[in-house]
Amino acid sequence: MSTPTPDQTPAPPPGLPPELEALRDKLAAVLGTDAVWELKGKLPAFRLPAKAIVSACKTLRQAGFDYLLFVTAVDYPSENRFEIVYVAGQYNGPDQIALVTDIPRDNPAVESVSQVWDTAEWHEREIFDLFGIRFENHRDLRRILLDDTWEGYPLRKDYVDKVHNVVKRPY
């Protein structure tokens, strides 16, 4: 496999634990040059373009990550993007890794990974329900938590609850 070019993987900050370094090297080798290592906070992640996400998930599953903890989204309205986060773990090992991808906020859609892990089906339905993000090739894309008549997507940052009139606290 090709190794990432130096400009894509910046030198790790001093003190990166050896097990994270090993994880990064192992996964960078299988995920290819599309994937860029990213360690913000404590959860190690790889950033990928949206169109590469399904094949990356398949590769990840073959590499022993047979456990998808969850899929979720984070809204960044000021940067006009949603970040989709896939967190995968192992049923017989200690490793955990997140795959993140950006999709545009004005036409949010991404390929479903429910063909890779069955559990993604419901997690993607939840994102569809609460963020209004469409998942292509999803088996059963319906609302899951909210009522069918609900308007708006509550977990978006610009959502205003007109009915319950929730006032944002000043702190």
Partner 1 sequence: MNAPVPVESPVADTYQDYFINMGPQHPSTHGVLRLVVKLAGETVLGVSPHMGYVHRGIEKMGEAQTAMQFTHLTSRLDYLSAHMNNWAWAMVVEQALGVQVPERAEYLRVIMSELTRISSHQLWWGVFGMDLGAFTPFLYAFRDREKVNDIFEKTCGTRLTMNYIVPGGVMEDADADFEKDTRAFLEYFKPLIEEYEQLLSGNIIVQERTKGVAVLPPELAKSYGVTGPTLRASGVDYDVRKNHPYGVYPRLSFQTALATEGDSWARYKVRLEEMRQSIKIISQALDQMPKSGPVRAKLPAVLRIPPGRYLSRVETARGELAIFLVGDGKPLPYRVKIRSPNFSNLSAFPAIIKGWRVADIVTAMSTFDLVIPDIDR
Four-point Cα dihedral 150, 156, 162, 166, nearest 10: 120
- 92 forms part of the interface with partner 1 (CB under 8 A): yes
- Out of 13, 40, 158, 165, which residue is the one contacting partner 1 (CB under 8 A)? 40
Nearest residue (CB) to partner 1, 3 versus 145:
145
- CA-CA distance, 169 to 167, in Å (whole number)? 6
Q: What length is written for the chain?
A: 171
C-beta separation of 31 from 38 below 8 A: no
- 19 forms part of the interface with partner 1 (CB under 8 A): no
C-beta separation of 98 from 74 below 8 A: no
- Out of 28, 31, 48, 87, which residue is the one contacting partner 1 (CB under 8 A)? 87
- 170 forms part of the interface with partner 1 (CB under 8 A): no
- 98 forms part of the interface with partner 1 (CB under 8 A): yes
Which residue in the block uniquely carries the two structure tokens 């998930």? 57
- Out of 6, 14, 15, 41, which residue is the one contacting partner 1 (CB under 8 A)? 41
Coil, strand or helix at 138: coil
Phi and psi based region of residue 41 (left: phi greater than 0; alpha: psi -120 to 50; beta: remaining): left
Task: Output the smallest distance, CB 70 to partner 1, in A.
Answer: 4
Site residues, partner 1 (CB under 8 A): 40-43, 45, 66-70, 72, 74-75, 85, 87, 90-94, 96, 98, 117-119, 121-122, 130, 143-147, 154-155, 166, 168-169, 171
